[in-house]
Amino acid sequence: MSDFDPDLLSAVAPFLWDGLLTSFGLLLLAMAGGGLLGTLLAVMRIAGPRPIAALAAGYVNGLRSVPLIMVIFWFYLLVPLVIGRPIGAFTSALVAFVIFEAAYYAEIIRAGIQSVPKQQLAAALASGLGPLQAYRFVILPQAVRKMLPILLSQSIALFQDTSLVYVVGLHDFMTAVSVTANREGHLVEFYLFAVVIYFTLCFAASQSIQFLNRQPVSP
């Protein structure tokens, strides 16, 4: 493993770059989809009538019971059999991430809302706001401030989770690195390279979150 050719990295750079773009694409789309679905689930669970709340709780707990790898496998291998139509690796992975991450976002959002003291809702309702208005103007703004750092951290975790598409061979950054490392026979160098890249990206992101977090918040 000692004869590492420095030109090798530039030769494979376009392949790895494409992989990184795929990782980012998955991240952004899954954040948007998972965030929307997650908010819906959280509000259903807290404010919905019993059956709706139970439904949302069932979804969240069901999805949180299963490994992400399993969800990715299901969508990749088995769903096409059931619906009788193939779906591509990217689409199937994206759907798996949205469905899966929504359950996690929902829990964070729920915890955020529940951390707002009960009296706030009572006060809002007493001052003549409807329940939707109370959530929109009183509860959610406070909840969002509390849960934003956790939501963003979860998104960093999501970015790292995109590496799991390795198991279905979609060429994200991780898979591209692994394919190259095995083909060129330089596991140590390529995996350490991936460590540097992932660490730099995720560390920068988590530092930004902490910076945001330190900004003064109105009491």
Partner 1 sequence: MQGRSFWCYSIAGLWGAIALAAQAHAAGPGDSPILKRIAARNAITIGHREASAPYSFIDRDQKVEGYSIDLCMKVVEAVKARLEMPSLEVKYVPINTTNRIALVANGTIDLECGTTTNTLSRQEQVEFSPIFYITGTQVLVKSDNGAREVEDLKGKRVAVLQGSSNEQSLRMLNDTEKLGIELVYAKDLGEGALLVASGRVDGFAADGGQIKVYAATKAQPKGTLKVIGRLLTYDPYSAMMQRGDLEFALLVKRAFADTFRSPEAEKLYAKWFGPLGIEIEPELKTAFAIQALPQ
Partner 2 sequence: MTYRWDWSVLVSEPYLGWLLAGLGWTLLVAGAAWVLALAVGVTIGVLRTLPNRAARTFGTAYVETFRNIPLLLQLFVWYFVLPELLPAPIGNWIKRDLPLPEYWTAVIGLGLFTAARVAEQTRAGIQAIGRGQAMAAAASGLTLTQSYRYILLPIAARNVLPPLTSEFLNVVKNSSLALTIGLLELTGQSRQIESATFHGIEAFTAATLTYVVLTTVVIVALRAIERLVAIPGLMARA
Rounded distance between C-alpha atoms, residue 165 and residue 174, angstroms: 8
User: Which of 29, 40, 168, 205 lies at the binding interface for partner 1 (CB under 8 A)?
Assistant: 168
Contact between 6 and partner 1 by CB under 8 A: the answer reads no
Tokens of 140: 């959610």
Rounded distance between C-alpha atoms, residue 61 and residue 156, angstroms: 22
Torsion of CA 19, 25, 26, 31, to 10 degrees: 150
Task: Specify the stretch interacting with partner 1 by CB under 8 A; choose among 25-33, 43-51, 114-122, 163-171.
Answer: 163-171
Which candidate, 131, 69, 123, 120, places its Cα nearest to that of 96? 69
Give the Å distances, CA to CA, from 203 to 28, 99, 146, 195, 219: 18, 26, 21, 11, 29
User: Which of 36, 52, 54, 77 lies at the binding interface for partner 1 (CB under 8 A)?
Assistant: 77
Residue 68 binding: pick among partner 2, partner 1, none (C-beta 5-8 Å cut-off by kind)? partner 2
Stretch 49-78 residues interacting with partner 2 (CB under 8 A): 61-62, 64-70, 73-74, 77-78
Q: Mask: binding to partner 2, 81-120, rule CB under 8 A, as x and -?
A: x--x-------------------x--x---x-xxxxxx-x
Chain residues in the site for partner 1 (CB under 8 A): 1, 3, 11-12, 14-15, 18, 76-78, 80-81, 84-89, 168-169, 171, 179, 182-183, 185, 187
